[in-house]
Structure 1
Amino acid sequence: MDETYWEEIFSSFRKAIEHEGRTLPSLSLIAEEKQDPFRVLIATILSLRTKDDVTLSSSRRLFALADTPEAMLGLSTDEIERAIYPAGFYKTKAKTLQSISRELLASYGGEVPSTSEALMKLPGVGIKTANLTLNLGFGIEAICVDCHVHKIANRMGWVETKTPERTEIALQGVMPRRFWIPLNELLVIYGQLICTSVSPWCSKCPQQQSCPKHGVSRSR
């Protein structure tokens, strides 16, 4: 699988997404508004188990009140909860945002660290959140694998793995680095619209003829 193959895959997936009427996902929009690692980190925390439009609106309301660790700690838990509602698990996330801000000030001078190892030491930050922060906040190449990326990568036959962690490592060996940053958000949207978990829309997929459809028992 050379660069030409990946260019064709990414281009065809983007066109299929555009045909479904979808636009840039919330985290990309937030990063484009201001490439600030703290804003990206906080928005990524808010995005977990939350719909895209809710993530965008919740993030913008919160950042209108506080977009630095110092300002975040100047808000009460109730104020943060009201700003981010109805994001999923908003009460827990409000406390997590305060804990992250407190740790950033205590250990990193108020700056977001630029390594996955340091990011994952922050409260509530896993590998997906760390890699998205590196991608969109710092422009650092990293492969972020969630359930959508893991599913599609195996269905397409790019890798043969059992866990997202193994998929991340395997993709690093077959995918050119310049595709690492846009991979997650592209496949998340594609997995939501077309390559769905149950009964994927193979009839809408531009790769339906070449895709081996591993693990697909029923499609539309």
Structure 2
Amino acid sequence: MPEPARNTRAKSAGTPPDQRAARSRKGEETRLGLVRRARRMLRALAEAYPDAHCELDFNTPLELAVATILSAQCTDKRVNEVTPALFRRYPTAADYAGADRTELEEVIRSTGFYRNKTSSLMGLGAALVENHGGEVPANLEDLVKLPGIGRKTANVILGNAFGVPGITVDTHFGRLVRRWGWTDLEDAVKVEHAVGELIPRKEWTMLSHRVIFHGRRVCHSRKPACGACLLAKDCPSYGIGPTDHLEAAKLVRGPETPRLLELAGIVEEVPEKTVATQAAKEPVA
């Protein structure tokens, strides 16, 4: 009598021993163990996203400050559609300070909450002209005093316009570092400090980009692609999303898809058509 065929799909969908071990560590991990695991994950993210970057288009610190203000409750894609005309019309802080409110509102209307954002942009321009010679300051203390600039926005500006390391705790970043067990804190400033104690300062800006990239491409809010994640062996939350390789692969999005599936060790299991389809999909906002 022939031997029954093995269910290889079921086997791949199970939880491998190293991933079960990762989950079991959640309640017993030492501080040193956490630091080592976080830095392993950092290295894996660097390999996966070597070209991660700020996805807002800008050429100057002022342009980045403006774009970041507009990005509140709006996708980066939409902001990038609006800013070329905006930057041409308002190239300096003085231009925002002296803008006609109705005209400025109309230019940025499609980014949402345009009245509040207009107030922030005009206030930002006035504050820069009055207190900083029309230039965006390159330090956190002065940045957070500006209209429309909170700590998250300030870190975006410092890290990407001035090369000053900073951790940007947005929705994706906070969700992922909590899933990874790097912290259980909810407050963004406390999350920033907790993660900063795990990761070398020189890595902070690129860490922010890479975590955000991973959140948009693999570790989604409602249905993370656990079975296609290169961080699975170090993730204590492995299994909250599909663990079947093929099902998970259909959740990965963006042009990095082939590389991500290769690094996860499953690219040979996934049909080429599926890889191409997912690579053509835009990462989630």
TM class by smaller structure = 0.7 to 0.9
In structure 2, relative to structure 1, the CA distance for the partners of 1:109 and 1:82 (3 Å cut) is same
Q: Distance in 2 between matches of 1:188 and 1:88?
A: 22
Match of 2:84 in 1: 60
Q: Distance in 1 between matches of 2:211 and 2:217?
A: 10
How much has 1:64 moved relative to structure 2? Answer: 1.3
How much has 1:141 moved relative to structure 2? Answer: 0.8
Write out per-residue CA displacement over residues 140-183 of structure 1, whole angstroms, 9 at most, x where no aligned residue: 11111122111111211223323222110011111012221122
Match of 2:55 in 1: 26
Match of 2:10 in 1: none
Q: What are structure 2's unaligned runs of at least 5 residues?
A: 1-34, 243-285
Match of 2:45 in 1: 9
Please tell me whether the aligned partners of residues 62 and 136 of structure 2 are also in contact (alpha carbons under 8 angstroms). Answer: yes
Instruction: Choose which of 107, 115, 119 in structure 1 pairs with 2:131.
Output: 107
Write out aligned runs for 1:124-143 (5 A).
124-143=148-167
How much has 1:135 moved relative to structure 2? Answer: 0.9
How much has 1:49 moved relative to structure 2? Answer: 1.0
Q: How many residue pairs end up in the alignment? A: 206
Please tell me whether the aligned partners of residues 135 and 181 of structure 1 are also in contact (alpha carbons under 8 angstroms). Answer: yes
SS of 1:174's equivalent in the other structure is coil
How much has 1:217 moved relative to structure 2? Answer: 7.5
Aligned partner of 1:155: which letter?
A: R
Structure 1 moving runs of 4+ over 6 Å: none
Aligned partner of 2:241: which letter?
A: S
In the alignment, structure 1 residue 72 sits paired with structure 2 residue 108: no
Write out per-residue CA displacement over residues 79-108 of structure 1, whole angstroms, 9 at most, x where no aligned residue: 212222310212211121001101111111
In the alignment, structure 1 residue 200 sits paired with structure 2 residue 200: no
Mean Cα deviation higher: 73-82 or 108-117: 73-82
SS of 2:110's equivalent in the other structure is coil
Please tell me whether the aligned partners of residues 143 and 183 of structure 1 are also in contact (alpha carbons under 8 angstroms). Answer: yes
Match of 1:175 in 2: 199
In structure 2, relative to structure 1, the CA distance for the partners of 1:24 and 1:114 (3 Å cut) is closer
Aligned partner of 2:101: which letter?
A: T
SS of 2:134's equivalent in the other structure is coil
In the alignment, structure 1 residue 89 sits paired with structure 2 residue 113: yes
Q: Distance in 2 between matches of 1:173 and 1:123?
A: 29
How much has 1:40 moved relative to structure 2? Answer: 1.0
SS of 1:26's equivalent in the other structure is coil
Match of 2:30 in 1: none
Mean Cα deviation higher: 132-141 or 83-92: 83-92
Q: Distance in 2 between matches of 1:52 and 1:111?
A: 24
Aligned partner of 1:26: which letter?
A: E
State TM-score, norm by structure 2: 0.66
Q: What are structure 1's unaligned runs of at least 5 residues?
A: none
Mean Cα deviation higher: 65-74 or 48-57: 65-74
Aligned partner of 1:203: which letter?
A: G
Identity %: 30
Aligned partner of 2:190: which letter?
A: R
Write out per-residue CA displacement over residues 89-134 of structure 1, whole angstroms, 9 at most, x where no aligned residue: 1221112100110111111111111111211111121110111111
Mean Cα deviation higher: 164-173 or 152-161: 152-161
Please tell me whether the aligned partners of residues 145 and 167 of structure 1 are also in contact (alpha carbons under 8 angstroms). Answer: yes
How much has 1:4 moved relative to structure 2? Answer: 5.8
Aligned partner of 1:174: which letter?
A: L
Q: Distance in 2 between matches of 1:205 and 1:105?
A: 47
